[in-house]
Amino acid sequence: MTYETKPPVDAVDAVDAVDPVAQARALRALHVPGRPLVLPNAWDPASARLVVAAGALAVATTSAGIAWELGLPDGERLDRDRALDAVARIAAAVDVPVTADIEAGYADETPDIAATVQIVLAAGAVGVNIEDALNGDPERDGAPPLRPVGDQAARLRVARGAADARGVPLFVNARVDTYWKSVGDPATRLARTLERAAAYLAAGADGIFVPGVRDPDEIRALADGVDGPLNILAGPGLPTVPELAALGVARVTLGSGLARAAHSFVRSAAREALTTGTYEALTGAMPYKEANTLFPHP
């Protein structure tokens, strides 16, 4: 079985790289059920350029990869300014649309989401992921795993309004963490997810991201039950992109997978040099000249 990677007509052709409205419309047009937008997530300008060179039609950032790059753990430990400065550097490095993982919005209070969205747009990104997970420790402080549906819907409404006020059709990808956080009885998890998805779409979200779901039947049920583009987090053990396409998925992301794979390679190559004294792990590494031409000379 094959699937079509070519974008819809005019979706990315001749898009003005400095026009956020055109970029946002291009990103929106790439979300087609059955012909998923595949996003190997980037964490710095070099990784962004590499995924675009590999054929990516847009770039998605990974908050985990950015946090690790800056010496911090994932999970909203990174402040808004540093996180979005990294997004700005990524957006400046590529000509395709960029969508930013902004975790829960880098805002304790719902109205402050508007400021985050304004900074996202100023950074050059035209899409966001906003998650409904809470990063407290349920066992330590009794924090619930997810934000209440009404509260999260209000945050999404603010994000939508802030983008609309700027005249940019920002693609708001609402992340539902029922599967990621293993919330509640597995028998009711699908229904809980669909309930949240409907509320978030009604609040102004454009798409729904459900990381952690792995079963093809549940993925199909989500694609059928969500009244908008469905985003799935992919990796080893999950259906392939063609299989996800057949299930009706519109967006496939790799999350922190590429960053973790890169860091795993550094660890194994360093261990080899420091233990056996050999360098076989470096066989096949990108030549220096090629790596040095990822960016044009100033």
Query: DSSP string of 127-170?
Result: EEEEE-B--S-HHHH---SB--HHHHHHHHHHHHHHHHHTT---
pLDDT of residue 159: 98
- 1-24: average pLDDT: 61
- Whether 162 has a pLDDT exceeding 60, the answer reads yes
d(CA 217, CA 223): 10
For 212-250, b where at least 16 C-beta lie within 10 A, e where not — what string? bbeeeebbbbbbebbebbbbbbbeeebbebeebbbbbbb
Kindly state the average pLDDT of the residues 12-31.
83
Strands 59-60 and 251-253: unpaired
> What was the pLDDT predicted at 295?
87
Q: Is the pLDDT of residue 224 over 90?
A: yes
Q: What is the spatial distance between Cα 244 and Cα 210, in angstroms, rounded to a whole number?
A: 13
- Residue 10: the pLDDT is 43
Q: Is 10 left (phi over 0), alpha (psi -120 to 50) or beta?
A: left
Confidence (pLDDT) at 16? 59
Q: Mean pLDDT across the chain, nearest whole number?
A: 93
User: Nearest-CA neighbor of 192 among 160, 259, 146?
Assistant: 146
Report percent pLDDT > 70 for the chain.
92
The pair of three-digit structure tokens given for residue 119, joined into one six-digit string: 């900074």
Q: What is the pTM of this model?
A: 0.91
Q: For residue 8, is pLDDT > 90? A: no
Using CA atoms, how far residue 136 sits from 77, 133, 145, 255, in Å, is 12, 9, 8, 21
Closest by Cα among 19, 103, 96 to 51: 96
For the purposes of burial, counting CB atoms within 10 Å of the CB of 252, is it exposed (0-12), middle (13-18) or buried (19 or more)?
buried
| pLDDT tens by residue, 93-119 | 999 999 999 999 999 999 999 999 999
- Torsion angle of alpha carbons 231, 232, 235, 237, nearest 10°? -160
Confidence of residue 9 (pLDDT cuts 50, 70, 90): very low
Tokens encoding 101: 């993982």
Contact 295, 49 (CB under 8 A): yes
Rounded to whole angstroms, the Cα distance separating 34 from 245 reads 4
Residue with the larger pLDDT of the pair 24 and 14: 24
Segment 177-195 mean pLDDT: 96
Query: What average pLDDT score do residues 227-250 get?
Result: 98
pLDDT interval class at 14 (50, 70, 90):
very low
Say which range, 53-62, 136-145, 223-232, 234-243, has the weakest mean pLDDT.
136-145
pLDDT > 60? residue 7 = no
Output the pLDDT for position 4.
52
Instruction: State mean pLDDT over 43-63.
Output: 97
Quote the CA–CA distance of 253 and 117 in Å, as a whole number.
21
pLDDT of residue 12: 45
Which residue reads 């992340």 in tokens? 175
Whether the per-residue pLDDT at 35 is higher than 90: the answer is: yes
What pLDDT score was predicted for residue 139?
53
Mean pLDDT of 29-34: 97
Chain mean position to CA 84: 14
